[in-house]
Amino acid sequence: MKFHLELEREEDGRWIAEIPTLSGALCYGATREEAIRRVETLALRILADRVEAGDDVPEVEAAFVAQPA
């Protein structure tokens, strides 16, 4: 599971990080590293909420393999 991050520096010096393929995953940070850390954290929360709600989340489903009973 890999997500592409887009980064841009605003005119006021803040950084914005976004994961375009994950709706709602957009964060600002004072530094590039902070923006990346925040959007990665938010992405995990978004995916966890979707799994908990029972939504189809193929990105996460492929990350786990259950052992046979």
Domain limits, the chain: 6-61
pLDDT at 1 over 80: no
CB neighbours of 59 closer than 8 A, spacing ≥ 6?
Answer: 1, 3, 47
Residue scoring higher pLDDT (64 or 39): 39
Contact predicate 32/39, CB 8 Å: no
Is residue 53 very low, low, confident or very high in pLDDT (cuts 50, 70, 90)?
A: very high
Q: What is the pLDDT of residue 13?
A: 97
**Helix, coil or strand: residue 6:** strand
| 6-61 placed in CATH 3.30.160 | yes
- pLDDT, tens digit (0-9, with 9 covering 90-100), for 2-48: 889 999 999 999 999 999 999 999 999 999 999 999 999 999 999 99
What's the pTM value of the predicted model, to 2 decimals?
0.84
